[in-house]
Amino acid sequence: MPGKNSFMPDECYVLEHKEISSLIRSLADHNMSERSAESLINMGRQAVQPLIVALKDPNMDVRGNAAWILGSIRDERAIEPLIGMLKDEELEARVVAGVALIKIGMPAVEPLIASLKRCDSKLKRTTANVLMGLCKEDRVDTGSKQKIMNTLRSI
């Protein structure tokens, strides 16, 4: 039987969730954001879902840092939300989301191509730039590069 001061699994989850939430809130603080980002990256997959939620935060620093961290973690669950962020009103947010998708690499190719086929002209330009960035940064294999180039020629 656990001792009076030992943690049960549910309590650990609550503490972990509170820590992640606190770190995400501190992404808005220029004095703490770098250390918080490093901690969230080290948490890896367990920080992904709260970071995805943070992509909708009203604070640009939180959104941008969350996108950058998701790109560093490279979890495929972040792809669609990051593609959605390519529509952000803030240019900086769109750029950071694009860089994050490039960091994720190959898994982002098909969702980006699908997005390219169903989006407006402004978003098409941003999405096309991300796809070209994937090719330029050698984040995709030769077959995917060819598919990207064929898709870009057809739009």
Domains and CATH numbers, the chain: 9-154 (1.25.10.10)
- % of the chain at pLDDT higher than 70: 90
- Extract long-range pairs of 151-155: CB within 8 Å, 24+ residues apart: 151/113, 151/116, 152/128, 155/116, 155/124, 155/128
Residue 3 predicted with pLDDT over 80: no
> Which DSSP helix (H) or strand (E) runs through 17?
helix 9-25
pLDDT at position 139: 87
- Residue 91's CB is within 10 A of a number of other CB atoms, namely 9
pTM: 0.86
* Residues 78-95: tens digit of each pLDDT: 999 999 999 999 999 999
Handedness of CA 35, 40, 41, 43 (dihedral sign): positive
Q: Quote the tokens at residue 146.
A: 């060819």
pLDDT at residue 12 in the model: 43
Per-residue pLDDT of 103-151, as tens digits, reads 999 999 999 999 988 888 878 999 999 999 999 988 899 999 999 999 9
